[in-house]
A and B are shown apart, each in its own frame.
Chain A
Amino acid sequence: MASNLVEMFNACLLWVTMILEDPSARVVLFGFPIRGHYFLEALLGVVIVILLSQKSFKPPKRPLTEQEIDELCEEWVPEPLIPPITEDMRHEPPVLESAAGPHTTVNGKDVVNFASANFLGLIGHEKLLESCTSALEKYGVGSCGPRGFYGTIDVHLDCEARISKFLGTPDSILYSYGLSTMFSTIPCFCKKGDIIVADEGVHWGIQNGLQLSRSTIVYFKHNDMESLRSTLEKIMTKYKRSKNLRRYIVAEGVYQNSGQIAPLDEIVKLKEKYRFRVILDESNSFGVLGCSGRGLAEHHGVPIEKIDVVTAAMGHALATEGGFCTGNARIIDYQRLSSSGYVFSASLPPYLASAAITAIDVIDQNPDMLVKLKQNIALLWKGLSDIKGMSLTSNPESPIVFLKLEKSSGSAKEDLLLLEKMADLALKEDSVLVVSSKRSFLDKCRLPVGIKLYVSAGHSESDLLIASESLKRLASELLKS
């Protein structure tokens, strides 16, 4: 037994000596001779294996206990649902006691009304009232359902056909509310990754649609074609290779926030050069511009086929409610299933659709209303041309006359309060109802605020005179510095 152990010990010793003394096991490392480098390498190998097999240090995951969650929930204090009410939030609008025509009644007094977008004076027109009455007696008030589920009444289809015939487009689609038209149409065609070039002065409905579409949005300077051209140039060089990327230009016919008119002929030229599609909102120009009221395309002499999507709210010149969109058949068909404001919402009440049909018929048969409107705008411009402290910034042909403050006080809130005071005084002292700009905190538009007057074909010369005199007087009183 002992001899076996000794033998094994001797064998091990021999082995180790061999490893250490063998001539091939000699190496010179950094000038030092090392004997038995196999031995060393085996040791290093073992050390490496041990280190690799160690798990790296992770701090232990300790999920919150129920008690800790309870404590956090108790501690958490939410903000109040709304910020505290300040004095300027308590402002009450005027309450009308009769129809919002060119003359209306507020607080028992007769007032000249420049605050309704009743451009052709169709509020109170007997033909409209007649067709509404017969529609009310036949169909009731509401349509009780969305378009897909028995909410399509034959007057809706007739209205869509009439609008298409009037504008000369293949097809149209009706929406039940003016504001929802734009924010339903844009997300239908613009998806994530597409590029939209929009004017910085577009109204909130369009801004909301742009936000919901999740596309890349680039704004260009308000109504500035040079800025549009350079923006388009920049985009085309940046996104040159993408073939499946859709590109859109969004503009309004007559801008709600400033009264400017978009130069459609130049936009169409740029669109064709850079291969963009145009979405145009003609709420304030439908029925107003062009010699027969067919809107911006007729005004600039551009064929309507060149504009891809035309939308409009009917709550302006047509003196009814709702909105529509026209274009080629593929675009309109696609909206009937994918536009959320069309599919998931009840359809337009039938009496408003029949009012729209009658209004278009009246416009078709009486183009002299447009001539009267143009004369009224010119008269008002003449009356307001020498107003002190404010300047006219809208287009001389636009039915929205916009007066902006020449010297702004620096803070938009102060300006808004001053303009509100001016509008209130105009109503109280001179019985003239005008609009002071209102901005919600959600509105991204940064255009200057001012006083807006909506001119109507139903206004008489004396009305326009009263309005211009009143504004001139108030401007010189309130804007002395």
Chain B
Amino acid sequence: MITIPYLTAVSTYFSYGLLFAFGQLRDFFRRFIDWWLTTNLHGYAPICLGHEDFYIRRLYHRIQDCFERPISSAPDAWFDVVERYSNDNNKTFKRTTKTSRCLNLGSYNYLGFGSFDEYCTPRVIESLKKFSASTCSSRVDAGTTFVHAELEECVTRFVGKPAAVVFGMGYATNSAIIPVLIGKGGLIISDSLNHSSIVNGARGSGATIRVFQHNTPSHLERVLREQIADGQPRTHRPWKKIIVVVEGIYSMEGEICHLPEVVAICKKYKAYVYLDEAHSIGAIGKTGKGICELLGVDTADVDVMMGTFTKSFGSCGGYIAGSKELVQYLKHQCPAHLYATSIPTPSAQQIISAIKVILGEDGSNRGAQKLARIRENSNFFRAELQKMGFEVLGDNDSPVMPIMLYNPAKIPAFSRECLRQKVAVVVVGFPATPLLLARARICISASHSREDLIRALKVISKVGDLSGIKYFPAEPKKIEQTKNDIKLD
């Protein structure tokens, strides 16, 4: 859990208060000016009421240049960030033709498949020439090619479940699958920091939703006991079924889920487990098979395993893996399978090739090298940052590391100064994180070399000193101590 230092909390609240006050003042004057100008929207209610987009207009627009930065090359370890300028105070941006080559610490490119790959890309281009960019049809009509069948078989081998079904988008997978599995009269217990796609899917299903404290299995047990004993709200009938939804790696915290405890509790109370491995598949575990391999959980104990191919496989799409009956039922009823266009064939081929590389079936050991490198890189980077005195979240082995910033002024300061020194980082504030807990999030990739990381550490340390985010005391360097000893002698 993050405990914010008292002084920092006070100064953060003060900063937000000041921004809020200035925003209200400007809104007040804007209302006067708008009164004079006429609009042609008589009789129509305004499409966004004043207070709904207050945050966007008055706070987010000030730092809008830190987000949506366009790039003009592949999202590899080094990429070209397009320079933009704004003539109207950050409301709109115009692109220039100049680019700057920066170190990429923001893209989800865990195993380095995000750019041209010597094994994958030629096969993708071949499949593109054979099947064209899209099938223009849903899976049940004419959208299933033998590449899709091969892909599902590859995914089952990789994940370790009897059957799998693949969809064209990870977000749509969650939104369309959860309503099929559970409906009114069921209960969904989800972690408090679950992703927006899970929240949307749960809301769309019509089931009752309860939340348990982030990554706390004891609280999950309490909630389960209470809910089973209580039954449905108001009628107290017993629940039809209970599904517990957890994620492998939480993308804003970098923490790994306590899966063995969660699975044990769910077995005891007969609840079903739904695991979302969007960030953890391919990135953790000895052979990249995700959190079940890392923590030694039997995949047969997890009822539904979901994941996406965007992060570690450099493609697009999502999958659901489970028992044969589950997958057959989903193929018959899931709206994303019946109505939506199937995953484009070149993307499917990219996933198949990436899986083959990771498992070593392409005849080389590049896969094992990539997995070892990402583990080394993550642990090295995290240890160094902690030594420098930054507040870094996340567990060991996780390639996602958030650095706490807290104060809203430090968000653009950190981002802009790093960009000036040719390091591209991602900063996140409200509403993706709680109001006080703004952070910069670093994603390590297997394509980062040791020199890249050392360079990044130097830049981050300098910028961290400038913006004052080293909240913990730095460990004293050992070399200086020996020098002092020599001097005394």
Contact = CB atoms under 8 A, between A and B. Distances in A.
A204 B138 CA distance: 13
A115 B107 contact: no
B354 to A, nearest CB: 9
A78 B133 contact: no
Contacts of A100: 131-132, 135-137, 142-143, 145
B181 A81 contact: yes
Contacts of A223: none
Contacts of B62: none
Interface of A: 64, 68-69, 72-73, 76-83, 85, 88-91, 93-101, 104, 113, 115-118, 123-124, 128-129, 132-133, 136-145, 147-154, 156-157, 176-180, 183, 189, 203-205, 208, 211-212, 243-247, 256, 275, 277, 313, 315-316, 319-321, 330-331, 334, 336-338, 340-341, 343-346, 348-349, 351-352, 355, 433, 435, 438-443, 454
Nearest to A180: B172
Contacts of B271: 78
B204 A95 contact: no
A308 to B, nearest CB: 8
A224 B240 CA distance: 40
A123 B241 contact: no
A211 B204 contact: yes
A148 to B, nearest CB: 5
B98 to A, nearest CB: 12
A152 B175 contact: no
A179 B108 CA distance: 24
A176 B134 CA distance: 13
B472 interface: no
Given A82-B181, A205-B339, A144 B70 contact: no
B108 A144 contact: yes
A139 B132 contact: no
Most buried by B among A133, A141, A151, A345: A141
B141 A99 contact: no
A453 to B, nearest CB: 11
A346 B386 CA distance: 30
Contact of B329 (A82, A128, A316): A82
Contact of B347 (A117, A139, A142): A142
Interface string B4-27: 000000000000000000000000
Contacts of A351: 128, 133, 346
7 contacts: A78-B270, A115-B142, A141-B314, A150-B75, A150-B106, A180-B172, A244-B45
Given A79-B240, A144-B314, A129 B142 contact: no
Contacts of B451: none
Interface string B222-251: 001110110000000011111000000000
Given A97-B145, A101-B132, A113-B142, A277 B335 contact: no
Given A97-B146, A99-B131, A337-B60, A154 B169 contact: no
A316 B136 contact: yes
Contacts of A137: 116, 121, 125
A137 B117 CA distance: 9
A143 B350 CA distance: 13
A144 B109 contact: yes
A140 B426 contact: no
B44 A178 contact: no
Contacts of A151: 75, 107
A179 B426 contact: no
Given A115-B141, A179-B172, A435-B141, A132 B341 contact: no
A116 B141 contact: yes
A180 B137 CA distance: 16
Given A90-B328, A153-B71, A349-B315, A144 B136 contact: no
B321 interface: no
Contacts of A123: 132-136
A113 B141 CA distance: 10
A132 B229 contact: no
A439 B339 CA distance: 9
Nearest to A154: B72
Contacts of A454: 137
B47 interface: yes
A438 B138 CA distance: 11
Most buried by B among A100, A143, A211, A243: A100
A111 to B, nearest CB: 9
Contacts of A179: 169, 172, 176, 335-336, 339-341
B422 to A, nearest CB: 14
A127 to B, nearest CB: 12
B333 A440 contact: yes
B179 to A, nearest CB: 6
A138 B71 CA distance: 12
A441 B205 CA distance: 12
B11 to A, nearest CB: 26
A140 B115 contact: yes
Nearest to B426: A149
A117 B142 CA distance: 10
A118 B137 CA distance: 8
A21 B313 CA distance: 106
Contacts of B329: 82-83, 85, 89
A314 to B, nearest CB: 8
Nearest to B128: A132
A246 B47 CA distance: 7
Interface in B72-106: 72-76, 79, 81-82, 95, 104, 106
Contacts of B467: none
A89 B328 contact: yes
B340 A140 contact: no
B228 to A, nearest CB: 5
B303 A319 contact: no
A116 B136 contact: yes
Most buried by A among B72, B136, B341: B136
B466 interface: no
Contact of B47 (A83, A176, A330): A330
A118 B136 contact: yes
Contacts of A93: 139-144
Contact of A331 (B47, B132, B240, B344): B47
A152 B70 contact: yes
A399 B200 CA distance: 33
A356 B3 CA distance: 48
